[in-house]
Structure 1
């Protein structure tokens, strides 16, 4: 569900920048391109970096897979919080549909401001939902063995890699 929420937020974010293209404001075209970049990179990146990590971690009961999920999903949560706040910078003034940008968009036109406020609400809901998911998955992970299991699996994988490296060098000498 969080991945679908991200997809909706990124599409709405892009829609917001499209609405701004029709207004007489500065930095609208670079913001539009940045919104496309977030959309094009964010959807497949999130699928590969955290959605598939969680799926494979749960499927294989791999603590190491869960650790990678936590790393990438925590970054995703931070991104969603940043997008919900959306402090504008020069080149990305309108690229995030967050609360600060929505307040500036209300000064441009009421319709644009409302569209950006809806986006800010979507980003806020996504951020809250993702934080809840992070805690929920962590509690599941902790109940399955947690960090100690991840350390043990890392040791096993390192031993297997060393064994494979040793076997490969012995085969190449023959």
Structure 2
């Protein structure tokens, strides 16, 4: 094998074909209080979450709850907002390592609801599935009124766009 087995960048740790977000980002989240975040703190929390969102499944719905607090006329703060911040802080401490896809069969797993979409990319090799990535988002207002089939097609499209680098030259399963 040529080159090092481990590389430790400030934002990313790569080891044995897997990568994780750097621990300092998760530690930064712990510096924020769970409740009564001011506008600047809320923006900083959402910025950190946005940076590590590929490592944390099911981010979009929770992030949109916090993003709504940045609107011109925000909803009143509630215990739910505190729960969301605490959940993010907890999930960011132990994000699953992502596998860099190699020669195995790629599987794009999609899911959508009325308002949100998400997909995960897995690699199946020698009977074992490895987690390669995650993406999620919110449908635009017009898209929220689409028929379920069209939302599912849109979700697959977003997944292919997100994981284009890995899927472009490969056969994969949806």
TM-score by length of 1: 0.27
TM-score by length of 2: 0.27
Choose between structure 1 and 2: higher helix proportion.
1
Choose between structure 1 and 2: higher strand proportion.
2
